[in-house]
Amino acid sequence: MTIFGQVVIGPPGSGKSTYCKAMREFLTALGRKVAVVNLDPGNDILPYECEVDISTLVTLIDVMENLKLGPNGGLIYCMEYLETNCDWLIGKLENFKDCYILFDCPGQVELYTHHKSVRNIVHKLQEKDFRFAAVHLVDSHYCRDPSKFISVLLTSLSTMVQIELPHVNVLSKIDIIEQFGKLDFNLDYYTEVLDLKFILDELQDDPVTRKFKKLNKALISVIEDYSLVSFSPLNVQDKESMLTLVKKIDSANGYVFGGKHEEGNLSEMLSYAAGADFEYFKNSKSLIADKIAGEADVFDCFVCEVGSGPGSLTRSVLHAGARHVAAVEIDRRFVPALEMLADCSEGKMKVYNEDIMKFNIPAAFPNVEGVAWKKDYLPSIRLVGNLPFNVSIPLLLQWLQAISHRTGPFTFGRVPMSLVFQKEVADNIVAEPGHPNCSRLSVMTHHLCEVKRTYRLPRTVFVPEPKSNSQR
């Protein structure tokens, strides 16, 4: 029997125990049975009633007194002791097989960035069919200081690589962030981890950090190269904020696909897992995704879809009569849902769990004939997708270069692209010479393509609702 849960981690003071208390109350209100496990041997004042407590096995005070260790060394010893006696933990959890488990972990950062005990404990539980998402809490006040925010990003990235779990990063205490002063950028900049060169500019204005310019630039380059870190803002007192986070975590650990929550049809279930996916119109059975698929003219065409997510646009493309769909999705959490959709497509769809920046599109359609660029008709290839902000510009630049050299998907000829961009990116793409938004991207796009903005998508058509609008 699969047991789902969250491994709640983060530095001291980030609000892990408060989060576990609030999450337990929230999930209980949703009808789930929840068990909380305290894995912090130094925390003897808990704001919740826990079902399993590591202090019945080992305590930090006893270790420090008996082994003459300090707090950090003692905590590492406790985790190593728990790893050695992991059967004790597994035995305790046997009594809660019908529960959703919340693990409240210690706040020592090195336990998650480079020490192996916590990771090994999680792996042993996974062997017993536990399915977890790591929920990494970070105090939102670190957004106030550019150098501290860079440190937070590096810590989050190191933790994601080390723990080896589906990962949800959270900016906690977002309701009191304004008490620390006005942010240098809007909140979206910090949650989506947008272009970090602006933070680099802020660091260079500081006389203390200015001398570390090359180091800061190198650190930012590492973060952007991995392109893994983003944050979900959280106010535990706000039910909407909690619900948005629960949906993201349920998608990460697979509960949305295999949990014992409310029954629903496949499309409802996938819509629940959608992330930044398209929502059903409230007063219509059609999808906004149907409009995109219709405008893309995919009938009887071979379609490469970028960032398929749980498959809302994919379904619309199939319904619009596409001959075959290559669904490219880098996030493996969405692959099971996409495979289910592929199984129902009668061979018209194949899922590729790959990075679109490295994906060989021509290899996905080996039997498609190209059309000379000078012909007055188009090849039967289409590129469609709802592009994440951090991928949209690099991918478009790569495709523009491919157009120039007639390589990649454009070996087939003048392949049409129907893409959804964040509004700010779309403004740059369509900007004419002389317009304030005109940039290198604008010039390249207008030189190599026929550009048309079809329509604007309000934020209300996405689930969860983003802070900014999108445009096609």
| Domain span including residue 170 | 3-193+229-261
70 pLDDT exceeds 90? Answer: yes
Domain end point (choices 420, 447, 463): 420
- How is residue 168 annotated by DSSP? E
Q: Which helix (H) or strand (E) holds 368?
A: none
For residue 243, being part of any structural domain is answered with: yes
Out of 131-140, 190-199, 202-211, pick the least confident.
202-211
| pLDDT value of residue 193 | 83
For residue 460, being part of any structural domain is answered with: no
459 pLDDT exceeds 70? Answer: no
Do 81 and 183 lie in a common domain?
yes
CATH of the domain at 376: 3.40.50.150
284 pLDDT exceeds 70? Answer: no
Other Cβ atoms within 10 Å of 411 Cβ, number: 16
Q: What is the mean pLDDT of residues 124-152?
A: 91
For residue 156, being part of any structural domain is answered with: yes
Distance CA 407, CA 405 (A): 5
Q: Which ranges constitute the DSSP H helices of 85-192?
A: 86-93, 110-113, 117-127, 146-163, 187-192
| pLDDT value of residue 6 | 97
> 324, 265, 314: which is closest to 290 by C-alpha?
314
Per the listing, tokens 């192996």 go with 116
Do 256 and 297 lie in a common domain?
no
Question: Which pLDDT band holds residue 266 (cuts at 50, 70, 90)?
Answer: very low
Which residues fall in the annotated binding site for S-adenosyl-L-methionine?
307, 329, 355, 386
Distance CA 79, CA 115 (A): 10
Distance CA 454, CA 429 (A): 13
Q: Is 342 exposed, middle or buried (0-12, 13-18, 19+ CB in 10 A)?
A: buried
Going across the sheet that includes 381-386, the strands are 349-352, 324-328, 302-306, 381-386, 417-422, 470-471, 456-457
| pLDDT value of residue 263 | 41
Angle at alpha carbon of residue 26, lines to 178 and 332, rounded to 5°: 85
Do 80 and 43 lie in a common domain?
yes
Number of domains comprising the chain: 2
Domain end point (choices 420, 439, 463): 420
> 411, 392, 391, 389: which is closest to 402 by C-alpha?
411
| pLDDT value of residue 205 | 67
260 pLDDT exceeds 80? Answer: no
Question: Which pLDDT band holds residue 191 (cuts at 50, 70, 90)?
Answer: confident
Do 136 and 240 lie in a common domain?
yes
Do 49 and 90 lie in a common domain?
yes
28 residue type, one letter: T
Tell me, yes or no, if the pTM score tops 0.75: no
Distance CA 247, CA 136 (A): 16
Domain end point (choices 420, 439, 455): 420
Which residues fall in the annotated binding site?
307, 329, 355, 386
The b-or-e profile of 266-294 (16+ CB within 10 A means b, else e) is: eeebbbbbbbbbbbbeeeeeebbbbbbbb
Q: Which of 98-112, 167-181, 204-218 has the highest mean pLDDT?
A: 98-112
- Taking each continuous run of H as one helix and of E as one strand, the counts in the chain are 20, 16
Q: Report pLDDT digits (tens) over 394-440.
A: 999 999 999 999 999 999 999 999 999 888 888 889 998 888 888 88
Write the DSSP assignment of 161-209 as a string of letters. HHH-S-EEEEEE-GGGGGGG---SS-HHHHHHT--THHHHHHHHHSTTT
Do 327 and 238 lie in a common domain?
no
> 162, 15, 16: which is closest to 7 by C-alpha?
16
| pLDDT value of residue 291 | 80
Do 131 and 76 lie in a common domain?
yes
For residue 455, being part of any structural domain is answered with: no
Strands 349-352 and 324-328: parallel
Strand extents, DSSP E, 31-82:
34-38, 52-53
Question: Which pLDDT band holds residue 295 (cuts at 50, 70, 90)?
Answer: confident
Percent of all residues in the chain with a pLDDT value above 90, rounded to a whole number: 54
In the beta sheet, which residues pair with residue 236? none
Total residue length of the chain: 472
For residue 441, being part of any structural domain is answered with: no
Angle at alpha carbon of residue 100, lines to 123 and 88, rounded to 5°: 50
| pLDDT value of residue 228 | 81
Give the distance between the most distant pair of CA atoms in the chain. Answer: 83
Do 243 and 356 lie in a common domain?
no
CATH of the domain at 123: 3.40.50.300
Do 14 and 140 lie in a common domain?
yes
Do 309 and 384 lie in a common domain?
yes
Distance CA 378, CA 428 (A): 26
For residue 402, being part of any structural domain is answered with: yes
Do 316 and 365 lie in a common domain?
yes
For residue 448, being part of any structural domain is answered with: no
For residue 400, being part of any structural domain is answered with: yes
Do 312 and 389 lie in a common domain?
yes
